[in-house]
Chain A
Amino acid sequence: MNDGPRCQDDAVVGPAGEHAVVSQLQSLAYERMIPLNVSLELTLECNIRCLHCYNFDRDTDGPASCAGDAASAAPELSLEEIFRVMGELRAAGTLFLSLTGGEVLSSPHLFPVLERARELNLAVQMLSNGTLLRPGVAAKLAGYRNLLGVSISLYGATPEVHDGVTQIRGSWRRTLDGAERLRAQGVAVRLKLIVMHPNAHEVAAMRALCDARGFPYLLDLTVTARHDGTSGSLAMRITELELAALYRGPLRDLIPSGNRVVDEAAFPCNCARGNCAISARGDVFPCVSVPWAAGNVRQQPFGEIWRRSPVFERIRGLKIADYAACAPCPDKAYCSRDRGAAYNASGSYTGTDPFVCTAAGLAREVAHEKETVHLPLATAAAR
């Protein structure tokens, strides 16, 4: 049975993420092509201006055009439209709904959507920058039993670094205060550490901060070109030298040692099989980071797009051989296979991103370095 690998953002916040039943469910969704996990972008609006934002250049007024977003000139989905789509998602088999943005807490639709999700028995997760988690908001969120958890992004171990990325002074403090406040209300919180050039020297400190405060966390090294076609965000990526230093230093423990073998049947990811994403303007994407529109929920019911879209049919039919550069690559078992990075770098779903390729090569080197056992002299002499 295929394990149906999932994107990190879709992983359930909390201990159930490691639960065997969750893997079993993802496999079922993958095999039967059920949209079990859907990301819904409630708004493109955001109260901070991150330099690496993948939506659009936050130093401009807004997304003049979004690559692949056929509806870029259209307004964002109304609450009525979102409610209709949520009903269609439920009917299509969705259980896990990830609410994202922009900043999801800046959307006036958030609480009505949470209410509707409860009525539809959908399990909700949120991705947020945490800065708007004021006491009343945190308490109100805690009232939704179907809210499984909130993933909060952190860009540095110090205010200087984090606030430099968000371009908002005080945001580091507000993010951490918001995370603490939400956790105190009983909501599961996970910090998402976005590793990039400005914070590469703070990665160890960021992990130590999470440990000291008792927050579970995951690390994400992915910074891609933007959906509006600009690529200024790429200046925020860690350099290859920084990546090598991290893999041999603060991130070394996360790289499993030894040889890995790729499961060719599991090579394609869960995009368009168990996962998809809906943009703030209604475009349906295979995943939140791949802006390749399969249709728009304003023009077609979601179920019809899911079942019949030529884009999704093409993705579902892909075999490892269709990834021309990846198929023969000796590093593919060590590769994150980040389709968003590949799509945004190459314009092709089956393309590659040279940065991801470099990272895979480095991961292989470090895995083999870790496998090399240096016997203590005494033991060696005894043999």
Chain B
Amino acid sequence: MTYKRDPGVPFQKLDEETIVVDPRTREVHLLNDTAARIWELLASSRSVDELTAALGEEYDAPAEELRASVEELLGGLGDKGLLAGSGARQRA
């Protein structure tokens, strides 16, 4: 199962912050550093394992913790309809 960010969702990276606009509710979300990196990686389709492994190379944190962060963010993004890919379709 893979995930990818919806290519039509407005976002912008401002220095350390990444802003994502939910076009359905017009809410604006400010992503933290880890979430911003995951959003960046979601430019192409990735599985939870791939995302966790990519973060593991960049962050000094236990794999379980990183996996939990990945799954939490994917859950939140999926619930808001901001994802595409097979994972997003399964959630829908």
**Taking the nearest CB of chain B, how far is it from the CB of A320, in angstroms?**
27
Contact A145:B8 (CB < 8 A) given known A93-B14, A95-B19, A123-B21: yes
**Taking the nearest CB of chain B, how far is it from the CB of A96, in angstroms?**
8
Cβ–Cβ contact B25 & A95, under 8 A? no
Chain B residues 9-68 with CB under 8 Å of chain A are 9-12, 14-15, 17, 19, 21, 23-30
Cβ–Cβ contact B17 & A28, under 8 A? yes
Q: How far is the CA of A266 from the CA of B15 in the complex (A)?
A: 23
Cβ–Cβ contact B26 & A121, under 8 A? no
Cβ–Cβ contact B19 & A146, under 8 A? no
Chain A, residues 2-30, CB within 8 Å of chain B (1/0): the string is: 00000000001111100101101100110
**Taking the nearest CB of chain B, how far is it from the CB of A381, in angstroms?**
52
Chain B neighbourhood of A13, CB < 8 A: 26
Cβ–Cβ contact B26 & A188, under 8 A? yes
Q: How far is the CA of A243 from the CA of B22 in the complex (A)?
A: 39
Interface residue total, chain A, C-beta cutoff 8 A: 31
Q: How far is the CA of A32 from the CA of B27 in the complex (A)?
A: 22
Chain B neighbourhood of A29, CB < 8 A: 14
Chain B neighbourhood of A32, CB < 8 A: 14-15
Chain B neighbourhood of A19, CB < 8 A: 27-28
B24 to A, closest residue via Cβ: A145
Chain B neighbourhood of A93, CB < 8 A: 12, 14
Chain B neighbourhood of A16, CB < 8 A: 21, 25-28
Chain A neighbourhood of B21, CB < 8 A: 16, 95, 123, 146, 148
Chain A neighbourhood of B8, CB < 8 A: 118, 121, 144-146
**Taking the nearest CB of chain B, how far is it from the CB of A83, in angstroms?**
17
Interface contacts beyond A21-B29, A21-B30, A146-B9: sample of 6 additional A-B pairs, CB < 8 Å, sorted by A: A14-B25, A25-B30, A95-B10, A121-B10, A121-B11, A145-B23
List the interface of chain B (C-beta within 8 A of A): 6-12, 14-15, 17, 19, 21, 23-30
List the interface of chain A (C-beta within 8 A of B): 12-16, 19, 21-22, 24-25, 28-29, 32, 34, 36, 90, 93-95, 118-119, 121-123, 144-149, 188
**Can you list 26 contacts pairing A with B, beta carbon distance less than 8 Å?**
A12-B26, A13-B26, A14-B25, A16-B27, A21-B27, A21-B30, A22-B28, A25-B30, A28-B14, A29-B14, A32-B14, A32-B15, A34-B14, A95-B10, A95-B21, A118-B8, A119-B7, A121-B10, A123-B10, A123-B23, A144-B8, A145-B6, A145-B24, A146-B21, A146-B23, A147-B23
